[in-house]
Structure 1
Amino acid sequence: MAPTVDNATLIILDIGQHTSASAEKNEKPFFENARQCAMRIIEKNIMIQTRNLVGVILLGANKTKNALAEQCPGAFKRIEMTSELQPPTWQMIRDLPQAATSRKGDWFEALVVAAHHYKDGISGVKINSKKIVLLTNFEAPANVGKNFEEVVEGFKEDELEVFVIGVDIEEQHNKDLQLIRQLVEATNGDTATFSEAFSGWMFHKTRGNKMTPQNFDLSFGPNVKIPISAYIRIRDEAVVKNWQKAIKDPVTATASANEGIQKERKTINTENQKVINPEDIIKGYLYGQKVIPFSDTDKENLYQSGDRSFLIYGFTSANNIQWQNLQGDGTYYVFGRKNDKKAQYAITCLVECLHEKNLVGLARKVHCRNTEPKMFLLAPVFDPNGSVCLSMIRVCYKEEIKNMTFPPTELKKFACSDAQVNAFKELIKSMDLTKAYDESYGDTEAFPVAETVSPAIQYILDCISYRALNPGKPLPQPRDEIMSLFKVPPLIEKQSRDPIEKLKKLFPLHKIEKKVKRRAGAIPSTSVSPTNNATDNKMDVDDVPKVHLPIMKNDEVTCVGTDDPVNDFEKLLGEGKSLVELAPEITEVIEGLVYTNFGGDFSKPLQALKRLRTECVKSEPSHYNNWLLKFKKDLLDRKKDAFLELLSEEGKFISKDENSASTFTQSDEHGDSQMYDNDTIPNSTELAIDTEVNDLFDEM
């Protein structure tokens, strides 16, 4: 069976020499408007994400390329088919000509070429709607001949629709315009000027999806079942559903959709670096800090929701259902199964009974076998079109409802006077959106429901289109048409000005200063005004509470501090303290200065590290060597890369050629120590694993 396509559009773009000049001063030439119109048509078909087909025919081109020109030499000249009917792409927009030519073409012959392509150029595809869009100003006369009536009948037999954009054929009177008007009327087409067409394409419209029902049996107990079909009424959907992934070549900077990155998932044992077979893996869940294994045997003991079902649990008053009880991502309409009159009659009776008794139904739905069960609300709906059905919305479980308590408002201090209530009524009346415009507009309602587009979605689609055509440029700001959706209609703003001023007078607002809580015994702060006398704000010195703090002498040093660690270290050494006692103190200070440093100035810890190394070279190098090895590992775990680079230049292990008591030997390969490899390998298992992960496995 041949695939079906909803719409196919062939664009005839006139690029002849008569399109390069503008009709009036300070106006764009016809070619620029026609090219922009062709771009919008292709872009619109890309954005709605359907299987529509689009083709482009250039009229007045520098060369001739079409099927009829090959069959009839000497005819159908200057007509080039650049893109046959195919799914629209951004490359089709890029291939549109940038300037008009010095040639002329026949618009009537271009229409014949387009009709011939529909008839003989496409095979194996069924097209429901065939359209031809003609973009020309008709300044180049066409050679119609005597077979015009036959061409019109051929267009009607092939069910072709002709649309003319750019010229108002109703107001102008010449031979070509009379002929094209006759062809448009015979094919049930339409005409529009550029301004009318661009206003219709101001926003990206979503495609009309063919509704696919979800078929269930609405069960009342074990014996009564009604075949039903649920259709999506409202649902939140992504702006772009299907993305085509492409791999960008870093050398040529081109993207390819035919190439990809091959990914392979493996489980590796960190102890011996061996790959574990999937059969030997037992999945688990992290519960707190423990990993709980979950085998296939445990899965069998899980709760099973049963087979696919839609079961009525009962009925309750509609007043018991509040908006906070509902959730989900959309609303469904439930009808009786198509072509089942008994089911349709049963649903109609159920809807009328629920409406009469002011009741709603609660139903349990299992979409597939053993999937998560969900509860739904079934409420009666009488559609304005005359259909009767049930609306289906998901209901929250008890654990999903968040109760929030608010202070009571039925108090005397919150009571409103009649004048205040009437002021709000006046404001609401003045801001009625159904009467937001005067009679000069076609529709007086502003932001109509189900017709107002989303500014966020429109801007996203604009950015996608701009990025596809301008890959190297920054994204633009939202256009004026999108920003206008955020503006209050002028008539609403004018009408609501007086009621708002009235509300300001009836509801005087006072600024509340936040009181600062003071601790007991704290000294209250006083501010001195320059206009007041000093004696008025002067506080008695005797009234100020006296606090005695211990005073430390400047020359008294008891331990190595962070203020001047090198000076403290030297003073304590001079007082007779041993290196065994001072080494842990100065290393702790160095670590603290590095770990808590966010400014990037490491001069103080580096000086302390150099001083410690100099002292350890003289006496005992093991204090420095052992600490430096551990310190580098901690720096790697904490991702202190900036200090690690400085440490690689300044902090080196003490080798034997510096001190005979060193426990490290000189390495021939690296020149630092025999511990060099263990210290600097970035892919070491011990260094790559975070310390918190190691602690987790130690507790297990």
Structure 2
Amino acid sequence: MMSEMRSRSVLNRATYTGDFEVGSRMRVQVQLFTRCREQLLPSLKKESTLGTDTKAVITDRVYKNKFSDYANGDANANANVNVNVNANANADSNDNKGLPEDERIPSYLYGKQRIPFTQEDKNRLDYASGEKHFQLLAFTDKKLIPRSHFMGPVMVCVAQAGNQGSAMTLSTFIHGCFEKNRVAIARLVSRKNAAPKLVVLEPRIKASGECFVVNELPFYEDIRNYPFASFAFNKKFQPTAQQIEAAKNLVNSLNLMEEDDNEGEKELLRPQEMFNPILQRFYENLQCRALDPNAPIQPLSPTIIKYLEPPEEVFRKAEPALKEFAEKFPVTVIRCVISCATFSKKEAKKERKHWSELNDEINDLLQGLSLKKEEVKVKEEIDEDMNIHFNQMLEINAITKIGTKSPIHDFDQLLKKRSSPDHFQK
């Protein structure tokens, strides 16, 4: 029974029940229900103790005072010094004793420093959103809210059951927004002192009923604006009219809407008919293990394989458009042969660095070294876009010995190299 393709039955409970505040004088009794949400696998961290002699694992952690200056409140004393504590050598030291729970202070990394935060600091930083509420902020044009900004699960807003006045008032707002092609922006706090959410209410009118579809909107900190170069600056990157027409034909040929004699147009991949292959695969093997604990992992069923592969009928109809697209956009394989003597795999891995790591290294070098005018050389090599590369503008000498200006930084840089056994003698 569990191996059959079916959806999970979920008890539909309201995530919010209360007033929808429209201004200071109007309150509409509404309810919010979850309409669409990602279904995850059940937790595999729980184990059954029936029929097995198992004992609970007790994790005993011992917190030791690694940095004594932090306990005294001096957080900047060891900010730029890396100290390795040897537990065997300092077993009798006062700084290596276990700390009681009331003396422990959590800390957070800010760059390379650890900033301690007490419980009082957390209480002061916590934002008190107040009692639960659902407030209307404004109405705006539907075109100004892109679908790419929708976040989190989808909810529906309906009037409270049995309240005719609230149902009539909410229906008026739904029809007004639908006719004007506008949406409502609201602030939602589902429970007391919960994190406030900025939501958009989009009207939905069907024969079965009418409601507001609620989607969460991002704040400014949640939006990621990535700058991408335009193809217009170089003519060789601009497609021709034939290439644009071939791309349009390919998109139109892979349309999922198909004609049906009874329903007119029918969607090929409907969410109501598509099951999650991961969940179905999991419950299929769970049924076998329930009947036989030693049963092996079952092979993939044809139904699950069908979900993981593109539909054959659609690509069979789009075969002429695919051939035309391949002819208009020829692809050639470029073979790049690199000599192992000049560039090994280990060196290639070392060259792959995240920008944040590279930025930290540059900042460390700039802080620890005094750059002289004769050490900065500006090269005349300029690329096609008339931009001078950063590595062509700065040329910083490597650290070979421990100086007097920043000996701690020089010592750390020499240890990071690990290229010569004579660094400790220097």
TM-score in same-fold range (> 0.5): yes
- What aligned pairs does 1:180-195 form with structure 2 within 5 A after superposition? none
- What aligned pairs does 1:317-466 form with structure 2 within 5 A after superposition? 317-328=141-152, 330-382=153-205, 384-408=206-230, 414-417=238-241, 423-424=246-247, 426-435=249-258, 446-466=268-288
State the shift of 1:342 in Å. Answer: 1.2
State the shift of 1:306 in Å. Answer: 1.8
Paired AA for residue 208 in structure 1? S
State the shift of 1:424 in Å. Answer: 4.7
- 1:10-32 deviation digits (Å, cap 9, x = unpaired): xxxxxxxxxxxxxxxxxxxxxxx
Paired AA for residue 387 in structure 1? G
State the shift of 1:469 in Å. Answer: 4.2
Q: Which residue of 1 aligns with 2:352?
A: none
Question: Sequence identity, in percent?
Answer: 21
In structure 2, the CA distance between the partners of 1:499 and 1:218, relative to structure 1 (3 Å rule), is same
Q: Distance in 1 between matches of 2:284 and 2:203?
A: 40
In structure 2, the CA distance between the partners of 1:207 and 1:370, relative to structure 1 (3 Å rule), is same
Q: Distance in 2 between matches of 1:447 and 1:409?
A: 34
Pairwise CA RMSD of aligned residues? 3.9
State the shift of 1:476 in Å. Answer: 3.5
State the shift of 1:378 in Å. Answer: 1.2
State the shift of 1:468 in Å. Answer: 3.9
Q: Which residue of 2 aligns with 1:235?
A: 37
Contact 1:327 1:394 in 2 (8 A): yes
State the shift of 1:346 in Å. Answer: 1.3
Q: Which residue of 1 aligns with 2:8?
A: 207
Q: Distance in 2 between matches of 1:475 and 1:361?
A: 50
Q: Distance in 2 between matches of 1:289 and 1:415?
A: 48
1:312 matched to 2:113? The reply is no
State the shift of 1:399 in Å. Answer: 1.1
Q: Distance in 2 between matches of 1:306 and 1:269?
A: 39
Residue 157 of structure 2 aligns to a residue in which SS?
strand
State the shift of 1:279 in Å. Answer: 3.5
Residue 28 of structure 2 aligns to a residue in which SS?
strand
Paired AA for residue 240 in structure 1? P
State the shift of 1:230 in Å. Answer: 0.5
- 1:128-178 deviation digits (Å, cap 9, x = unpaired): xxxxxxxxxxxxxxxxxxxxxxxxxxxxxxxxxxxxxxxxxxxxxxxxxxx
Contact 1:215 1:228 in 2 (8 A): yes
Contact 1:266 1:275 in 2 (8 A): no
State the shift of 1:437 in Å. Answer: 9.8
- 1:559-610 deviation digits (Å, cap 9, x = unpaired): xxxxxxxxxxxxxxxxxxxxxxxxxxxxxxxxx9xx99xxxxxxxxxxxxxx
Contact 2:155 2:213 in 1 (8 A): yes
Residue 246 of structure 1 aligns to a residue in which SS?
coil
Contact 1:310 1:366 in 2 (8 A): yes
Paired AA for residue 209 in structure 1? V
Q: Distance in 1 between matches of 2:261 and 2:179?
A: 41
Q: Distance in 2 between matches of 1:437 and 1:350?
A: 36
State the shift of 1:320 in Å. Answer: 1.3
Q: Which residue of 2 aligns with 1:478?
A: 300
State the shift of 1:232 in Å. Answer: 0.7
Q: Distance in 2 between matches of 1:438 and 1:344?
A: 38
State the shift of 1:202 in Å. Answer: 4.3
1:263 matched to 2:58? The reply is yes
1:511 matched to 2:332? The reply is yes
In structure 2, the CA distance between the partners of 1:430 and 1:317, relative to structure 1 (3 Å rule), is closer
In structure 2, the CA distance between the partners of 1:359 and 1:281, relative to structure 1 (3 Å rule), is same
State the shift of 1:410 in Å. Answer: 6.2
Paired AA for residue 151 in structure 2? Q
Residue 313 of structure 1 aligns to a residue in which SS?
strand
In structure 2, the CA distance between the partners of 1:294 and 1:237, relative to structure 1 (3 Å rule), is same
- 1:313-345 deviation digits (Å, cap 9, x = unpaired): 2222211111332211x1000011111111111
Which of 35, 47, 67 is the aligned partner of 1:245?
47
State the shift of 1:276 in Å. Answer: 4.5
- 1:165-197 deviation digits (Å, cap 9, x = unpaired): xxxxxxxxxxxxxxxxxxxxxxxxxxxxxxxxx
Q: Distance in 1 between matches of 2:20 and 2:9?
A: 28
Runs of at least 5 residues in structure 2 that lack an aligned partner in the other structure: 66-92, 339-414, 420-426
State the shift of 1:225 in Å. Answer: 1.9
Contact 2:129 2:194 in 1 (8 A): yes
Residue 435 of structure 1 aligns to a residue in which SS?
strand
In structure 2, the CA distance between the partners of 1:386 and 1:266, relative to structure 1 (3 Å rule), is same
Paired AA for residue 237 in structure 1? Q
State the shift of 1:389 in Å. Answer: 1.0
Residue 370 of structure 1 aligns to a residue in which SS?
coil
TM-score normalised by length of structure 2? 0.61
In structure 2, the CA distance between the partners of 1:343 and 1:500, relative to structure 1 (3 Å rule), is same
State the shift of 1:236 in Å. Answer: 0.7
State the shift of 1:394 in Å. Answer: 0.8
Q: Distance in 1 between matches of 2:210 and 2:260?
A: 34
Q: Distance in 1 between matches of 2:177 and 2:326?
A: 46
- Structure with max Cα Rg: 1
Residue 20 of structure 2 aligns to a residue in which SS?
strand
Residue 301 of structure 1 aligns to a residue in which SS?
helix
Q: Which residue of 2 aligns with 1:225?
A: 27
Q: Distance in 2 between matches of 1:486 and 1:349?
A: 44
Residue 232 of structure 1 aligns to a residue in which SS?
strand
TM-score normalised by length of structure 1? 0.39
Contact 2:254 2:314 in 1 (8 A): yes
Contact 2:33 2:155 in 1 (8 A): yes
State the shift of 1:282 in Å. Answer: 3.6
